[in-house]
Homo-oligomer: A and B are copies of this chain.
């Protein structure tokens, strides 16, 4: 069966989010000064062939650990449907 996987990858709390700071600065420059704590993350969506949902989740977790996320500074969350 083909399943839809979604992986959310965010910098861990405490890791400086320079991209977020840049967005915050740019928004401030345009007059939106009420914005704070901007964090920028990634989402990957893909189709995956697997025997069942739990097998797919195991596969996606392995992909995150090996390639998709830098687990030193990033945390990830998996959704398989």
A50 to B27, CA, bound (A): 15
User: Closest approach, in angstroms, between the C-beta of A27 and any C-beta of chain B?
Assistant: 6
A59-B32, A67-B30 known; A46+B50 contact, CB < 8 A = no
Number of interface residues of A (CB under 8 A): 31
User: Are A63 and B8 in contact (CB-based, < 8 A)?
Assistant: no
Counting CB contacts under 8 A, is A12 at the interface? Answer: no
User: Are B43 and A40 in contact (CB-based, < 8 A)?
Assistant: yes
- Specify which chain B residues have a CB less than 8 angstroms from the CB of A38 in the assembled complex: 44-46
Closest 7 CB pairs of A and B: A34-B49, A38-B46, A41-B43, A39-B45, A37-B47, A36-B47, A35-B46
Instruction: Out of B32, B36, B41, B47, name the residue touching A42 (CB < 8 Å).
Output: B41
